[in-house]
Structure 1
Amino acid sequence: MHLRSAGVLRVLYRTLWEGDLNVYVKVHTNSPFLVCMDLLLSQTEVIDPNYLWIGPDGQNLKGQSYVNLTETGKLMLLDFKEDMSGSYTCTLSYKVFQSDMKAEQERYKSYKFMVYAYREPDYTYRISVHFSTKECSLAANEQFFEELKKILNNLISYLTCQIIEPSFKCYSVKRPKHGLVDELFVVFQVNPFAPGWEVICHQVSTDCEDVTNSRVQKAQWLIEEFFNRQQHILQHEFKNLPAIHYIEHSFHVTRLDSCRPGFGKNDVTHNDCANCCVACDPGSYSPNNKLICLPCTSIRIKHYGAQSC
């Protein structure tokens, strides 16, 4: 069973189901309350309850600065970070009396929560567009491509976004009801990590995640609008088409996800948070902005969210 922390989900009970209860907490937020009691028991009278919460490092959580632990056994983890991920176990002890009050029993129940830090993925956008050209051997093709990169970078620079991995190739294309034409196939990515992005981000947000994705979405919209305007300009401002010009409706965009270092996606292990970037498990690491955590074979990594091996 898997549960993802959200604003409307504030209290989590264990049920009688014995599988692991996975809880996903977004970094730098507070977890929902984890309750040291199952739902069935919570609906009965519990006498002299006592709660012992143990964290992933084996330490008693009572009195720790990063927890909110109530007298009724509810645990909230504050400002959750990747290295706080792991198994949180609570042991509940309580008394049971016979009806004549002469016999007293001490009973114990244990509850386990697997708590993982996660981030939303960062977005980049891969964009492809086509331009008609007089011929593939035209020297102006390279010059046009270089100028196009400058224009697009200038367009989105105020968002601290940038064009990365730009490339183009020229092909002869036979389209329906037309003869052969030479076309430039241009591909590039819109990236939110231009120099200075961290300074801009941290002026607005501690974590930067939402700000980063908002910036790159705006950059993608600006570029899409730029190409949408090209056809209007060609139709209304040119009597004769330029040697190299945009092909209408050739704009295509694909969103590409990436995870911050120390995080990765695993649709099998974390299938209820499949789109989340979850802190790498002990024994694995992620040194870059790729989507997967890599196994570490040289040393034994014992903590979550490792960025190096």
Structure 2
Amino acid sequence: MRAWVLLFAVLWYLLGVGLQRSSLFDKKGFVYGKLGHPVKIYVKLHQNSPVLICMDYDRASKETVDPTYLWVGPNEKTLTGNNRISITNTGMLMVKDFLETLSGLYTCTLSYKNIKAETQEESVVKKRYDFMIFVNPFAPGWKGACNNMSVDCEDITNRNILKARDRIEEFFRSQAYIFYHHSNKTLPAMHFVDHSFQVVRMDSCRPGFGKNASLHSNCASCCVVCSPGTFSPDVDVTCQICVSVHTYGARACP
């Protein structure tokens, strides 16, 4: 009797907070805006967003006279501080315990005075910074499981799965040997076929999430929350089109 065994394993891709690689992301984990270009950020589900700075990196290195900051959220309403939204007097914003419905466009308008040295004439300058924040589908606890790992959690997870495959393969090989050499000869012999045990990658996303390499080119392998106008009802890897959907993370087309 030939024993063919197939193991299906999900290889998770774990990503912390990801964004375009540039000076927009400083060593303290703060994310600066960029004039004329929205900054894309990917946040784990139920984790805090990075701290968003309402100015560009160059502006932050200069003196800013009487600055004011106005943050507007995805619902196009002015953001104020609460138990989920943290906004400092210096225009820094952080979203706590990020959910699917919090995904979208966060806009900040920086206003400050410009004073001409010759005439002391004052004028008000306004600059707008856009941040597109998307959520990735990992539940609470993923970070704690990876905190003590010195390398990327995905690599360790994959290596552990392959190690489990090797041990299970050795188990079946040993069982076949025992049956053949030590069992009652009335039992049918068991033979293990080398390389018949496999680990297969299953690529899927949870409902309400999908992959889109064109929309999320800097996070092409990430399962990202479905944008308005799309939905995902199952564990497929893409979000389907539905024009009647107006929220992020939709699981059905009404």
TM-score normalised by the shorter chain: which range applies?
0.7 to 0.9
User: Partners in 1 of 2:31 and 2:88 — Cα distance?
Assistant: 14
Q: Residue 14 of structure 1 aligns to which amino acid in structure 2? A: G
Match of 2:45 among 27, 35, 39: 27
What residue is the counterpart of 2:55 in the other structure? 37
Q: Residue 114 of structure 1 aligns to which amino acid in structure 2? A: M
**1:227 match: secondary structure:** helix
Is 1:13 the equivalent of 2:32? yes
- The answer as to whether partners of 1:3 and 1:24 remain within 8 angstroms in 2 is no
Q: String of CA shifts for 1:138-189, please: whole Å, max 9, x gaps.
A: xxxxxxxxxxxxxxxxxxxxxxxxxxxxxxxxxxxxxxxxxxxxxxxxxxxx
Q: How does 1:59-208 map to 2 (within 5 A)?
A: 59-100=77-118, 102-119=120-137, 207=140
Is 1:296 the equivalent of 2:238? no
Q: Cα distance, 1:64 vs. partner?
A: 3.7
What residue is the counterpart of 1:141 in the other structure? none
Q: Residue 307 of structure 1 aligns to which amino acid in structure 2? A: R
Q: String of CA shifts for 1:267-302, please: whole Å, max 9, x gaps.
A: 2211211221100010111111121111115xx111
Which structure has the larger Rg?
1
Q: Residue 277 of structure 1 aligns to which amino acid in structure 2? A: C
Q: String of CA shifts for 1:84-126, please: whole Å, max 9, x gaps.
A: 0111111111011122563111111111111111125xxxxxx
TM-score with structure 2 setting the length: 0.75
Match of 1:261 among 189, 207, 221: 207
Distance 1:268 1:308, change over 3 A: same
User: Partners in 2 of 1:9 and 1:259 — Cα distance?
Assistant: 31
Root-mean-square deviation (Å): 3.2
Q: Tell me how many residue pairs correspond in the alignment.
A: 219
Q: Cα distance, 1:2 vs. partner?
A: 4.0
Q: Residue 11 of structure 1 aligns to which amino acid in structure 2? A: F
TM-score with structure 1 setting the length: 0.62
Question: Gaps spanning 5+ residues in structure 1: where?
Answer: 121-205
User: Partners in 2 of 1:263 and 1:117 — Cα distance?
Assistant: 9
- The answer as to whether partners of 2:165 and 2:197 remain within 8 angstroms in 1 is no
Distance 1:244 1:232, change over 3 A: closer
- The structure with the greater share of residues assigned to strand is 1
User: Partners in 1 of 2:219 and 2:161 — Cα distance?
Assistant: 27
What residue is the counterpart of 1:186 in the other structure? none
Q: Cα distance, 1:220 vs. partner?
A: 7.7
Match of 2:216 among 264, 270, 290: 270
| Identity level (%) | 38
After superposing on structure 2, the runs of 4+ consecutive aligned residues of structure 1 that deviate more than 4 Å are: 208-211, 213-224
Distance 1:111 1:247, change over 3 A: same
**2:203 match: secondary structure:** strand
**1:91 match: secondary structure:** strand
Match of 1:227 among 141, 166, 169: 169
**1:28 match: secondary structure:** coil
Q: Residue 117 of structure 1 aligns to which amino acid in structure 2? A: V
- The answer as to whether partners of 1:85 and 1:117 remain within 8 angstroms in 2 is yes
